Amino acid sequence: MVGIALFLSHLATQDKMASILRSTYPNYFISKNKIQLTDDINIDMILKKVREKYKTNPVNTIDGLKIEFDNEWVHLRKSNTEPIIRIYAEGHSETTANQLAQKIMSDIREILK
């Protein structure tokens, strides 16, 4: 609700149609993926090792692990109900987002070896 209120306030102050206001913002594409694991794998350890690998990048650990790259980011979250890691990557193109997600998934597979 707060987001809607902020958007409507911004829309009113700009005195523009929503489509025109939206066109001033950059486009981003998201890639949603997951890695299936087994119950005996320590997901927190995997996330810690991924964080260590990208320690020079800005990271946020409020809700999982978010790693920022130049104009892209990836967010890893463990599931509370099943042994998986959800991987969300966002970039300026669908290809970029998919490549970033695949890179992180490859890193995780390497950690699991």
At residue 49, the pLDDT reads 96
Burial of 73 (0-12, 13-18, 19+ CB in 10 A): buried
Domain count within the chain = 1
Tens digits of residue pLDDT in 5-62: 988 888 888 888 888 888 888 889 999 999 999 999 999 999 999 999 999 999 999 9
On whether residue 93 sits in a domain, the answer given is yes
Residue 76 lies in domain: 27-112
Q: The domain spanning residue 32 has which CATH number?
A: 3.30.310.50
On whether residue 59 sits in a domain, the answer given is yes
Q: Mean pLDDT across the stretch 55-71?
A: 95
Q: Report how far residue 66's alpha carbon sits from residue 74's, in angstroms, rounded to the nearest whole number.
A: 6
